[in-house]
Amino acid sequence: GAGVSQSPSNKVTEKGKDVELRCDPISGHTALYWYRQSLGQGLEFLIYFQGNSAPDKSGLPSDRFSAERTGGSVSTLTIQRTQQEDSAVYLCASSLIRWDQGTEAFFGQGTRLTVV
């Protein structure tokens, strides 16, 4: 089966525009994560979805960032009024992880966002 798929692979946008990044997790994976990775930096946690529970949005850097997960599958990360500091690779991961036990989280190839 297919792995985690993200689209687009690359996105160049003008400052002030809104962007939507898409993540298709592995079928059946209940947990879905969004991370941001700036050049040469670590994996900054953004948001976490687990089944039908309310998402953990504690990592979203500002109210310009939002995410949703429809039907427990596909997720969309939206950045409104993009700024140059939003330029980064946005990585999505999915897993069968539950809060009380861990299993491998698989990453997508990422979306490279460049704000000009």
Beta bridge partners of 22: 7, 76
Shortest spacing between CB 50 and another protein, in angstroms? 6
14/101 with CB nearer another protein? 101
Q: Pairing state of beta strands 106-107 and 10-13?
A: unpaired
Size of residue set near another protein by CB under 8 A: 27
User: What amino acid occupies position 97?
Assistant: I
Q: Which of 48, 67, 75, 79 binds another protein (CB under 8 A)?
A: 48
Shortest spacing between CB 104 and another protein, in angstroms? 5
Q: According to the binding rule CB under 8 A, does residue 108 interact with another protein?
A: yes
8 Å CB contact between 94 and 106: yes
Q: What is the largest CA-CA distance in the chain?
A: 42
Q: What is the DSSP annotation of 21-41?
A: EEEEPPTT--EEEEEEE-TT-
49/82 with CB nearer another protein? 49
| Binding residues for another protein (CB under 8 A) | 31, 33, 35, 41-43, 45, 48, 50, 56, 58, 91, 93, 95, 97-102, 104-110
